[in-house]
Amino acid sequence: MKKVILPMLFIFMATIAFAQHSKQELVGKWQGIDNKSKDGSLIFKDKTKVALVVNGKESPYFDFSINLQKTPAPFDITVRRPDGHMVTLKTLLQFLDNNTIKWQIFEIDERPVNFNEGIKDSILILKRVKA
């Protein structure tokens, strides 16, 4: 029995480890449309900078942090407001597959652990834009 359990445990742990995504996999443009037909995009310049595109208007690049060890991943974007104050957008992001991510922005200071399907307006399904 022990001879079977140990290899099964190893296979299970390896599957979890290899299923993890990396920040490098985010690099590029991700585009989608919300349920009100408004377009939006995230452009990941590298592993630390992201720009937001809303209704065709691209923001400057902002710093971001993400914990891809969790599903969905806590994804924070640090934004400098016009008055100079720094604000952190609390969001969640999840890879649905290698070319599709689910993203939700929260207007409250505390981010839930999971997506809030009751607030459909703030959920975007974004597809990788091939260069």
The CATH number linked to 43 is: 2.40.128.570
83 is written with which tokens?
């008055």
Please tell me the total count of domains within the chain. 1
CB 122 within 8 A of CB 107: yes
HSE value, Cβ hemisphere, 13 Å, CA-based, for 6: 3
| pLDDT value of residue 10 | 47
Say how many C-beta atoms besides its own lie within 10 A of residue 27's C-beta. Answer: 15
The DSSP call for residue 26 is G
Ordered per-residue pLDDT tens for the chain, 131 residues = 555 564 454 444 444 444 578 889 999 999 998 777 778 899 999 999 999 998 889 999 999 999 999 999 999 999 988 898 999 999 999 999 999 999 998 877 778 889 887 776 678 999 999 87
Q: Are strands 86-97 and 28-33 parallel, antiparallel or unpaired?
A: unpaired
Query: Is 117 contained in some domain?
Result: yes
- What residue numbers bound the domain in which 55 lies? 23-129
| pLDDT value of residue 4 | 52
